[in-house]
Amino acid sequence: MHKEEYRFSFEVYHSSNDLLPADANLLEQARAVTNIAYAPYSHFSVGAAALLANGEIVKGTNQENASYPVGICAERALLSAIGTLYPNIPIQTMAISYHNFNQNTNSTHPISPCGMCRQALLEYEGRVQQPVKLILSGLEGEVVIVPQSNLLLPLSFKGEHLKK
Ligand code: THU
């Protein structure tokens, strides 16, 4: 028997003012798009914006449903849109923000993608052979940058495991 250890590093910024202009711009777009999320059940609106290798920016929001499990997270809604609009174009960066309407104040702490979205991000990275940098933040305050989304899913299950 031996033990293995998993570690990864990420960056924490005091606010979006400390980001590179392109990152600050993408985060601003993710924050803005929280306003058009469809989240009548959770009142938790998530916005995501992706900068593609071809320079395009595509946005996504969570889309809920009266049959709750039918709803989809902003990140996977965005990945589906990108996979359809720009198949096989790498995603350089994805910014994710949210507004929790259950609270009276603006969100000030980053959230990170749920497990299902981590799996979907991993598949996209594998498909285009390029990592996705994540920018995570509320509507204001601290910003976390994860250099590649696969770092959030160690010991992951991949397509190669299905091969004969
Ligand atoms: N949600 C996202 O869109 N992204 C996340 O990273 C976490 C959760 C959505 C799903 C659901 O519509 C609402 O937020 C509450 O879970």
> Ligand 1: which of 72, 73, 79 to mutate, most ligand atoms within 8 Å of CB?
73
Domain coordinates of the chain in residue numbers?
Answer: 11-153
Ligand 1 centroid to 44 CA: how many Å?
7
Supply 143's token pair.
């910003």
Whether 119 has a pLDDT exceeding 90, the answer reads yes
Residue 152's closest CA among 36, 14, 24, 8? Answer: 8
pLDDT at 69: 98
> Ligand 1: which of 42, 63, 94, 153 to mutate, most ligand atoms within 8 Å of CB?
42
Supply 39's token pair.
């989240």
How far apart (Å, rounded) are the C-alpha atoms in residues 47 and 59?
Answer: 7
Whether 4 has a pLDDT exceeding 90, the answer reads yes
**Predicted TM-score (pTM) of this structure:** 0.97
Whether 151 has a pLDDT exceeding 90, the answer reads yes
Indicate if 75 belongs to the active site: yes
Which CATH topology does 11-153 take?
Cytidine Deaminase; domain 2 (3.40.140)
Closest approach atom of ligand 1 to CA 77: 3
Residue 146 binned pLDDT confidence (cut-offs 50, 70, 90): very high
For ligand 1, whether the C-beta of 46 sits within 6 Å is yes
Strands 133-137 and 11-13: unpaired
For ligand 1, whether the C-beta of 114 sits within 6 Å is yes
Whether 12 has a pLDDT exceeding 90, the answer reads yes
pLDDT at 159: 87
Strands 91-100 and 133-137: parallel
State the Cα torsion 138-116-87-21 to the nearest 10°: 20
Query: Which residue, by CA, sits nearest to atom 1 of ligand 1?
Result: 73
How far apart (Å, rounded) are the C-alpha atoms in residues 18 and 53?
Answer: 23
Closest approach atom of ligand 1 to CA 114: 6
Q: What average pLDDT does the structure give for the chain?
A: 97
| Sole residue written with tokens 């009266």 | 66
Chain segment 45-70, per-residue pLDDT in tens? 999 999 999 999 999 999 999 999 99
